[in-house]
């Protein structure tokens, strides 16, 4: 850990699992309850907007009933106390990193509590339902959709993420299956930059073999331990 100045952390659904949010690909996960083509593609939304708006309304409501867990809080502490540079990138659309105390979170797949107007393209905070077709405050069209990134759409802030990976010393992937690109390719970008790579996951992910080190177990245990190690080495 000595000599580590720039850390990029990628989180996925597994970090929020112990808070009570369903992951996507586990047994009983969201993709067993809903067809991904129906609820997470622009084509599915065009075919049946009510189904998609209802799916995200349900997940927004569920989010109000859960709390951040020790893994979210440990990353917030690391952000506050690590003396080098730290970029926290999440694929999650929940706000548990922010509620756990993180100040700078890059949501590459968007946010449940944000709306995107399909008519004028404006993005805005939005914490209510969308099934009732609220009007866009900018163009007044009833065209709001969840501000999330579906398959076939471009994730947010890719340039900033690739720049950070290119100068990183350590890349840490937490609670993600490594099944969805471009996030699944970040480990190779980091390796190409000469960074150390570490996976923290319940079990080996699809991309486990790309990491120099993997630790397996629940994020609520592994992440606080790892954050403590980083801070003990650096302080
Ligand atoms: C625990 C745990 C505990 C459980 N503790 N761990 C090759 C290259 C580039 C693109 C493609 C490609 N091949 C195909 C593509 C296109 C496509 C893609 O990747 N398809 C795959 C199916 C192959 N990608 C796209 O279309 C993306 N856009 C794109 O590529 O644009 C062009 C582009 C090219 C090049 C550069 C830049 C751009 C967009 C992808 C959008 C994904 N959207 C979703 C929905 C978001 C909204 C919503 O939440 O509904 O994002 S799909 C879903 O998967 C969601 C997640 O963020 C994402 C990843 O899921 P995640 O987080 O990994 O969850 P799970 O459930 O899969 O895994 C959980 C893990 O946690 C497991 O490993 C468990 O073991 C673990 N775990 N409990 C620790 N307690």
The catalytic site residues sit at 109
pLDDT in tens, 71-94: 999 999 999 999 999 999 999 999
Q: Assign 3-state DSSP to the chain and report helix, strand, coil percentages, each to 5.
A: 35, 20, 45
Q: Distance of alpha carbon 58 from its chain centroid, rounded?
A: 18
Q: Helix (H, G, I), strand (E, B), or coil: what is residue 189?
A: helix
What is the structure's pLDDT at 235? 55
Spell out the domains of the chain, with CATH numbers in brackets: 6-20+68-109+154-234 (3.40.50.1220), 30-64+118-148 (3.30.1600.10)
Say whether pTM exceeds 0.75: yes
Phi, psi of 131 (to 5 degrees): -60, -30
Each residue's pLDDT tens digit, 129-178: 999 999 999 999 999 999 999 999 999 999 999 999 999 999 999 999 99
Please give the pLDDT value at position 125.
97
Specify whether the CB–CB gap between 207 and 190 falls below 8 A: no
Calculate mean pLDDT across residues 14-26.
Answer: 96
Say yes or no: CB of residue 50 within 6 Å of ligand 1: no
pLDDT classification of 184: cutoffs 50, 70, 90: very high
* Ligand 1: centre distance to CA 92 (Å): 9
Task: Kindly give the residue spans of alpha helices, DSSP state H, lying in 64-119.
Answer: 70-81, 96-99
Query: Does ligand 1 come within 6 angstroms of the Cβ of 102?
Result: no
What digits encode the pLDDT tens for the residues 90-129? Answer: 999 999 999 999 999 999 999 999 999 999 999 999 999 9
- Please give the pLDDT value at position 3: 82
Could you tell which of 17, 20, 21, 24 is best to mutate to test the pocket of ligand 1, judged by most ligand atoms within 8 Å of the CB? 24
Q: Round to whole Å and give the CA distance between 189 and 57.
A: 35
Give the C-alpha distances (Å, rounded to integers) separating 129 from 60, 91, 136. 8, 22, 13
- Which of 25-29, 66-70, 101-105, 124-128 has the least mean pLDDT? 25-29
- % of the chain residues with pLDDT over 70: 98
- The reported pLDDT for the residue numbered 27 is 86
| Distance in angstroms (rounded) separating the CA atoms of residues 38 and 6 | 39
b vs e for 173-184, b when ≥16 Cβ sit within 10 Å of the residue's Cβ?
Answer: bbbbbbebeebb
**Torsion sign across C-alpha atoms 163, 165, 170, 175:** positive
Tokens 């690109």 map to which residue? 181
Q: Is the pLDDT of residue 46 over 60?
A: yes
Q: What's the rounded Cα separation, in Å, for the pair 25 and 196?
A: 27
**Mean pLDDT confidence for 29-43:** 95
Q: For the residues 48-69, what does the mean pLDDT come to?
A: 97
- State the chain's maximal CA–CA distance in angstroms: 55
Which residue lies with its CA nearest to atom 59 of ligand 1? 180
């Amino acid at each position: 850990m000595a000599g580590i100045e720039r850390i990029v952390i990628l989180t996925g659904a597994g970090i929020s699992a112990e808070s009570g949010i369903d992951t996507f690909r586990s047994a009983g996960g969201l993709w067993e309850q809903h067809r991904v083509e129906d609820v997470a593609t622009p084509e599915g939304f065009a075919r049946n907007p009510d189904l998609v708006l209802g799916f995200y309304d349900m997940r927004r409501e569920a989010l109000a009933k859960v709390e951040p867990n020790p893994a979210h809080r440990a990353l917030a502490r690391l952000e506050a106390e690590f003396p080098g540079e730290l970029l926290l990138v999440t694929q999650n659309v929940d706000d548990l990193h922010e509620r756990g105390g993180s100040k700078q979170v890059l949501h590459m797949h968007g946010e449940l509590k944000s709306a995107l107007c399909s008519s004028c393209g404006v993005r805005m905070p939005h914490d209510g339902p969308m099934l009732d077709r609220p009007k866009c405050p900018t163009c007044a069209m009833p065209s709001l959709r969840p501000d999330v990134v579906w398959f076939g759409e471009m994730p947010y802030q890719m340039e900033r993420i690739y720049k950070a990976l290119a100068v990183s010393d350590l890349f840490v992937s937490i609670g993600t299956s490594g099944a969805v690109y471009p996030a699944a390719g970040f480990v190779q970008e980091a390796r190409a930059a000469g960074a150390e790579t570490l996976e923290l996951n319940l079990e080996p992910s699809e991309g486990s073999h790309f990491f120099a080190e993997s630790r397996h177990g629940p994020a609520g245990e592994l992440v606080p331990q790892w954050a403590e190690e980083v801070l003990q080495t650096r302080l």
